[in-house]
Chain A
Amino acid sequence: MLEIKNLNVTVEEKQILKNLNLKIGKGEVHAIMGPNGSGKSTIAHTLAGKPNYNVESGEVNLNGKDLLSKDPYERSLNGLFLAFQYPIELPGVTNASYLKQIVNAHRKSRKETPIDAGEFLKILKEKSKLLDIPMDMHSRFVNTGFSGGEKKKNEVLQMDLLDPSLIIMDETDSGLDVDALKTTADAINKLKNDERSFIIITHYLRLLEYIEPDYVHVFQNGSVIETGDKTLASRIDQEGYS
């Protein structure tokens, strides 16, 4: 479903991704591990279309369609979801109205009518419960003054609401305590299905103990240096990257 071919990316004239190749099939979970500064997050940002991440050469196909020519919002509407490492605050915008608006943007692109307020509330209650999110969080402003855990849960909630086919998680485990990590991982596991693929970017083994990857890629200096199964993650956890 996702195919990255010979991808070269520069940020502020510095080459970060070097000839990256990666193939992800439907329903697969891929973990990308690597030391700080290895370019892990750059993969996530490039795939999502963040400005200033310049693709010098290479190709990316998502579900058979060229991804790189699309605007960020079109990528989202086409099923790509990036869970941010540091979710952004939107002061003055209540979480509930924001969530409803992004849900409606996706419905509109599928030529569906906007969701009815009562129906939305019902879905929101259901999905918030799964993540242990109190409903009063939705009357606060998006991510504004949220704790690290609340921010990450809010990302997973959006993931659940938007029904993406490719989920990229950029260090979703950072900033979560043990309980929050377990709740979040449980919610993510419920999102797994045969159609949906995951890229999990992480430093640590701990998230991968809850969400079992099919493949683990070790990333260094802008490209994959080793690929294996979940045992590779444990080995790295014990031995480090070198």
Chain B
Amino acid sequence: MNKVSKDNFTQEKYKYGFVTEIESEKIPKGLNEDVIRLISKKKNEPDWMLDWRLSAFKRLENMSVPKWAKAEIDEIDFQDLYYYSSPKDFKEKPKSLDEVDPKLLETYEKLGIPLKEQKVLAGVAVDAVFDSVSVATTFKEKLNEIGVIFCPISEAIQKHPELVKKYIGSVIPVTDHFYATLNSAVFSDGSFVYIPKGVKCPMELSTYFRINASETGQFERTLIIADEGSYVSYLEGCTAPMRDENQLHAANVELVALDDAEIKYSTVQNWYPGDENGKGGIYNFVTKRGLCKGKNSKISWTQIETGSAITWKYPSCILRGDNSTGEFYSVAITNNYQQADTGTKMIHLGKNTKSRIISKGISAGKSSNTYRGLVSFHKKAKNAKNFTQCDSLLVGSECKANTIPLTENSSNSSSIEHEATTSKISDEQLFYCMQRGLDAEEAQSLIVNGFCKEVLQKLPMEFAVEAQKLVSISLEGSVG
């Protein structure tokens, strides 16, 4: 009923799939103590950091990969990966953009992330991570003036060891699970943010992760601390070249909100999803957790997950402070052979803690999309409240959607509300829109964007429009 040519789409579908021809310097393949020592040395780390990594590696030797996700994962040979790759001759991070390799600047231009400050999006500071190193951070000085620290974590380890030491691993214990522990042993770069007491960060902070080198894993580590009464909105974006191999991205992200502080963390994840036959793509195994440590604190996760061959992530909130609030807003889109197993954990420990979960899963093609969530009320969590809404939208008849919401309740004064729906884009809806002049793709994109509007609205304004386009592009070729 529609003449939309599918060939057109596969060509332009993943426009970030290019490879930057830049010589890289890798340390030898394999996972062992020497590799970890070498990473630490490359980063010029103090001994305490190396010891921390080594202790994680010791624990890792007795751990195995988790198997419970609803995803078919090819076995990964952890000895056959590069754990560190940086552009060649990248001894020290350039002091100014003039010193950055023009090829790198060009790469980020092509990705729509210009790093030259006169060109950047007004009001957004960017940290650009290329494979295992941060290549540029914009607006650093301006943020410095108000006491906001925004820098690569490798730099924070050297310049702000007291903060890193105090908080790293405080939300995700070194021994949490295989991938979190692996990350603790081999993490390369990521961002560090500290917002001082009472400061409302005046600009969006964002990190752009780019995997470029082949056979290389990216192990991002991000740590954000919002001190008392402060506020920050942070956004991360991710892309990778199109390759036939599967590449591993195993990140750990820790957020800490002290009394009356608020952290808003948004993700637009667009890693290479593999081709239409399911070949290649990123394995995105990510641990993200926020601790509402202080009273009246708030952590809000918003994620738009469109990429990766396999996505496996559960941004969670530990609501320890009384009256603290956790939020999770998610749109996860899977097409072709993509697999997503994503959701959240809301752990209510303090009194009057509140959490809200809005999850929108959209599956097309032969993909599989699972919401997995846990809402847990500790017995001291008096008057805690949760609201959960999980909606699934199916496009076509060969895809799968699952909803697995778990609850644990040891508090008798708490309340949980749960709503779930599964719907299909109806032929009637498509026909109605087409009768008014929209072609099949436009009609579908209108309906899908309507379905996830509630979540898209939570994104910082600068990115909401991009996200809407991304939602449409991810589903191209799936109608008809």
Q: What's the count of A-B pairs with C-beta under 8 Å?
A: 81
The answer to whether A77 and B2 touch (CB under 8 A), given A51-B431, A90-B429, A90-B446, is no
Please tell me if B159 contacts chain A, counting CB pairs below 8 Å: no
**A88 adjacent to B429 (CB under 8 Å):** yes
**B450 adjacent to A76 (CB under 8 Å):** no
**A158 adjacent to B436 (CB under 8 Å):** yes
**B449 adjacent to A82 (CB under 8 Å):** no
**B438 adjacent to A71 (CB under 8 Å):** no
Which residue on chain B has the smallest CB distance to residue A105?
A: B437
Choose one: A72, A90, A101, A109; the contact of B435 (CB below 8 Å): A72
User: CA of A88 to CA of B449 in the docked complex: distance in angstroms?
Assistant: 17
**B432 adjacent to A92 (CB under 8 Å):** no
A45-89 CB contacts (< 8 Å) to partner B: 48-51, 71-73, 75-77, 81-82, 84, 87-89
Please tell me if A98 contacts chain B, counting CB pairs below 8 Å: yes
**What is the size, in residues, of chain A's interface with B at 8 Å between Cβ atoms?**
29
**A101 adjacent to B446 (CB under 8 Å):** yes
User: CA of A77 to CA of B431 in the docked complex: distance in angstroms?
Assistant: 14
Which residue on chain A has the smallest CB distance to residue B4?
A: A71
Please tell me if B439 contacts chain A, counting CB pairs below 8 Å: yes
Please tell me if A141 contacts chain B, counting CB pairs below 8 Å: yes
Please tell me if A121 contacts chain B, counting CB pairs below 8 Å: no
| A residues near B442, Cβ cutoff 8 Å | 101, 105
Interface string of B2-17 (1 = CB under 8 A from A): 1100000000000000
Interface string of A115-142 (1 = CB under 8 A from B): 0000000000000000000000000010
- Taking the nearest CB of chain B, how far is it from the CB of A165, in angstroms? 13
Please tell me if A22 contacts chain B, counting CB pairs below 8 Å: no
The answer to whether A92 and B451 touch (CB under 8 A), given A71-B439, A73-B434, A101-B438, is yes
| B residues near A101, Cβ cutoff 8 Å | 438, 442, 446
**A84 adjacent to B434 (CB under 8 Å):** no
**A92 adjacent to B450 (CB under 8 Å):** yes
| B residues near A82, Cβ cutoff 8 Å | 435
User: CA of A88 to CA of B438 in the docked complex: distance in angstroms?
Assistant: 15
- Taking the nearest CB of chain A, how far is it from the CB of B451, in angstroms? 5
Interface string of A82-113 (1 = CB under 8 A from B): 10100111111100001001100110010000
Please tell me if A17 contacts chain B, counting CB pairs below 8 Å: no
Residue from the set B1, B426, B432, B437 with the largest chain A CB neighbour count within 10 Å: B437
- Taking the nearest CB of chain B, how far is it from the CB of A237, in angstroms? 30
**B439 adjacent to A88 (CB under 8 Å):** no
Instruction: List residues of B whose CB falls within 8 A of some A CB.
Output: 1-3, 426-429, 431-440, 442-443, 446-447, 449-454
Top 3 A-B pairs ranked by shortest CB distance?
A: A92-B450, A93-B450, A88-B432
Instruction: List residues of A whose CB falls within 8 A of some B CB.
Output: 48-51, 71-73, 75-77, 81-82, 84, 87-93, 98, 101-102, 105-106, 109, 141, 158, 162
